[in-house]
Amino acid sequence: MTNVMKRRRSIALAIVGVVLATTAMHAQAGRRGDVLDVNTASEKQLVALPDLTPPLTKIILGRRPFVTMTDFDSLLAQSLSREQRAAIYRRLFVQVNLNTASDTEIQLIPGVDDRLLGEFKKYRPYKSLAQFRREFGKNVNDQELARLEQHVFVPIDLNTASDADILSIPGMGQRMLREFKEYRPYKAMQQFRREIGKYVDQKEVARLERYVTLH
């Protein structure tokens, strides 16, 4: 590789690093590592998880989208033990709203006991994930904070959210990004439901609505 090619490669990697850092800074749905989103995971990814048999995977696919984590837990509880479900939730989850999630939803996050439940609620309302990282980082180390973040989100403002904010919503692509922005400014959530409902069914509108708000 020539020196010119090496310099070009270094510049390209630097640009990618800046883009990723910017996305991580603005994204309001927790950055995912090895935790899949229940509503967007492929059949192949689901069936590869422990205790998710092909028949159970088919049921999950048929019931999607799950609007809340408790909905998903109720389905799995019909055939799997609490221990089996806890193991699955380390790899598969419906992110919970840091500001409105019930105690039950929060405690479905693997490793969250009564003490951590109190810490989750102590800092409400969260304005951003940056606030969550700052405040919750007082209670756990960086590795545990990164793990917990994969299970949570803070709603974004429909009228002011950046492209990176919107694209952090699980399952969001460039086409739906354009539709989100096309109808700005939104005057009410009913307008969002009506306009986005032109492109997806009501259950998917409800799933997307979890991630947004109007100030």
CB 113 within 8 A of CB 168: no
Residues 158-180: tens digit of each pLDDT? 999 999 999 999 999 999 999 99
Question: Where are the extended beta strands (E) located within the chain?
Answer: 36-37, 92-93, 96-97, 152-153, 156-157, 212-213
Q: Which H, E and C letters describe 112-151, residue by residue?
A: CCHHHHHHHHHCCCCCCHHHHHHHHCCCCCHHHHHHHHCC
84-124 residue pLDDT tens: 999 999 999 999 999 999 999 999 999 999 999 999 999 99
Q: What is the tens place of the pLDDT at every residue in 38-50?
A: 999 999 999 999 9
Residue pair 90/112 in contact by the 8 Å Cβ criterion: no
Place of tokens 């409105």: 100
- Predicted pLDDT of residue 3: 53
Domain ranges of the chain: 1-28+156-215, 36-153
